Chain A
Amino acid sequence: MKSACYLAWKYTKAHKGRTLILIAALGLLLFLPTAVTLVIRSYDARMGARADATPMIIGAKGNRYDLLLQALFFRDGRTDDVPFGLIERLESDLAFAAKAVPLYARYTTQDAPIVGTDLSAYFDFRGLTIGQGKLPEMMGQAVLGQGAARRLGVTVGDTLTSDRVNLYDLSRTMPLQLNIVGVLGATNSADNEAVFIDVKTAWIIAGHGHGHDPEAHQSQAAHSATVTAIEITPENAASFHFHGDEAELPLSAVLVLPETDKDRTLITSRYNASANYQALRPAQVMDELMGLVLRIKKLFDANTALVGIAVVLLIGLVVALSMKLREAERKTLHKLGCGKWLIVQVQVVELAIVLAGALVIVAAGSAAVMVVSPMLLGV
């Protein structure tokens, strides 16, 4: 075996290109399904944990997966809005006891989701703490998840501007400048990548409220023109207001925290029976969603298995051709006194070297996937 190892190593070294191609082919073949499995497991664990930690979501009737992803991970799906008044209706209903946290997450800043909410209630519910700075004290102020702050390269005292919704529609509300007053401690969830503001600030971004610039009033008093403010400052903050009934202002979803299982059942039945709302148990919907993903993964696995068979056959062909090409070498070694199986042993060791190389690729790739996968979806 020692001589087989020696010859195999020498052969491999002398044919580096061929060996590296085989290692890369085998490594990729093994890495792809491993990576997919790792990513799915990682997402399953992370998404499952967030869903498990969220007792209930109420949103507009429609696709429940969109609503789930919107409410838990702030992905702006095609869900309709629900009115802010739903919060009060939920909390004041005598049939059950529950707290409700508003969510309005339709906008972004440099692709980071802007989440309008009741900051104290949401942070309490998620167990989030301020790592640096403080909670917002007025409209126009924001607290960032640590990952978002790092990615956007900002910290307390800096500003961010909400992304313009439609570059070509000048009649739309102008982007709002957000003053960063706090950065959250690190979390392992979608909150880490989000920008949190008070729900009223989110409504201003949406154009449901506006302010009157005092300087504009002074200099252009004759016009009494209404100027949309792009920054909310202590000077103009009092001028910001919302027209119409606040209870009709929009939310993308409501996180509901029923006190008991009975309360949850009552709320579920009440809102699922309504024409406009749906109540979700996130863990249940997440299981369904992951079930779909796993079904797709099975197709991918079958495809990988077929490709794997093809690659194994090709490697078999390469080995067979190699043995044919090395027949003279086998005969020479036999004449010198080696066993007939030495070349077979040499090729087995060569395959072991290729396999070891491929496993190194799989290990390195898997480690990279484990590091990168949470960042890819921000879950």
Chain B
Amino acid sequence: MIELSDITFAYEQDGFALRAEMLSIAKGEKIAVVGPSGSGKTTLLHLIAGILVPSCGKVQVEGQEVSAMSDKARRRLRLTTMGMVFQGIELIDYLSARENVLLPYRINSARSLDSAAKQRAEELLERVGLQAVSGRAASGLSQGERQRVGICRALVAQPGLVLADEPTSSLDDENAASALDLLIQLVDESGATLVMLTHDKAQLPRFDRVVAVDRGEVSGAVSGATSGGVR
């Protein structure tokens, strides 16, 4: 599903660089990426998503070499195969909760916003307990509600790959646990691959594997049921 080989990425501004010799993630795996702040976790996620392009090495997603694609092709790949949950939640404030969930359909001309998609959005909102506020503007939702809307948005189009950037970092413990439960449950149901950045070590047993990033070096540790890891 995902393969990073001999990649290097460096920011021009501060010279920070990320290196990974080999990282393979199989379809349906749930991967936790851990590491201290500023270690390069988000950079790794952005390289997988094609938001950033490595200066050397290869990034492959579903057999396509993301690192060799044009910006347009990488955006298309994100739209068609990936669902993303962001650290800062990042909803469109002037859209309602329902409209935010359906945004992947609105911005992707290849997908049609049919009744099945709308029904799926309603079902997701119902499952996360937001049906009553589905018509409310995102700016009027609480942090917990916004995060649940973000999770629904990432999953509504049933993507094969879900990338989550510390999705529970801005939530209190109770809301964080609930949001994570929901995310893992929905990913399990859809059979999607999950790559999630987290600081919460207590949650690591719920993942198949843990990848550690420290000072720009991607290394691995095996955890959970599935063997393998960073090679």
Interface residues, chain A, with chain B CB atoms under 8 Å away: 2-3, 6-7, 10-11, 13-15, 328-329, 331-339, 342
Contacts and interface: CB of A to CB of B under 8 A. Distances in A.
Interface in B88-139: 88, 90-95, 99, 103-104, 106-109, 137
B34 interface: no
A2 B77 CA distance: 19
B97 to A, nearest CB: 13
Contacts of B72: 339
Contact of B84 (A14, A336, A338, A342): A336
A13 B106 CA distance: 17
Interface string B65-94: 000000010011111001010101011111
Given A14-B137, A336-B79, A342-B107, 4 more contacts: A332-B91, A333-B107, A336-B107, A337-B76
Contacts of B26: none
Contacts of B77: 337
Contacts of A13: 94
A335 B47 CA distance: 12
B94 A338 contact: no
30 contacts: A2-B109, A3-B106, A3-B107, A3-B109, A6-B106, A10-B94, A10-B99, A13-B94, A329-B92, A329-B93, A331-B90, A332-B92, A333-B92, A334-B51, A334-B75, A335-B49, A335-B51, A335-B86, A335-B90, A336-B79, A336-B84, A336-B103, A336-B107, A337-B76, A337-B82, A337-B107, A337-B108, A339-B72, A339-B75, A342-B107
Interface of B: 49, 51, 72, 75-79, 82, 84, 86, 88, 90-95, 99, 103-104, 106-109, 137
A337 B109 contact: no
B48 to A, nearest CB: 12
A332 to B, nearest CB: 4
A11 B88 CA distance: 21
A336 B106 contact: no
A333 B99 CA distance: 14
Contact of A335 (B84, B94, B99, B109): B84
B94 A337 contact: no
A313 B180 CA distance: 48
B212 to A, nearest CB: 24
A7 B106 CA distance: 9
A16 to B, nearest CB: 11
A335 B89 CA distance: 12
Contact of A337 (B75, B93, B137): B75
A337 B79 contact: yes
Contacts of A11: 94
B140 to A, nearest CB: 11
A7 B95 CA distance: 8
Nearest to A1: B109
B86 to A, nearest CB: 7
Q: Top 5 closest A-B pairs, CB basis? A: A337-B79, A14-B94, A337-B78, A332-B90, A337-B75
Nearest to A338: B107
A6 B100 CA distance: 12
B154 to A, nearest CB: 9
B2 to A, nearest CB: 17
A332 B88 CA distance: 10
Contacts of B99: 10
Contacts of B104: 336
Nearest to A3: B107
A14 B95 CA distance: 8
A332 B99 CA distance: 15
Contacts of A338: 75, 107
A342 B91 CA distance: 16
A344 to B, nearest CB: 15
A336 B94 contact: no
A329 B75 CA distance: 16
A84 B35 CA distance: 109
Nearest to A2: B109
A339 B70 CA distance: 12
B105 to A, nearest CB: 10
A347 to B, nearest CB: 13
B95 to A, nearest CB: 6
Contacts of B51: 334-335
Q: In this complex, which of B51, B88, B99, B107 has the most chain A Cβ atoms within 10 angstroms of its Cβ?
A: B107
Contacts of B78: 335-337
Contact of A10 (B79, B84, B95): B95
A7 B49 CA distance: 24
A181 to B, nearest CB: 68
B61 to A, nearest CB: 13
A311 to B, nearest CB: 25
Contacts of A2: 109
A328 B90 CA distance: 8
Contacts of A329: 92-93
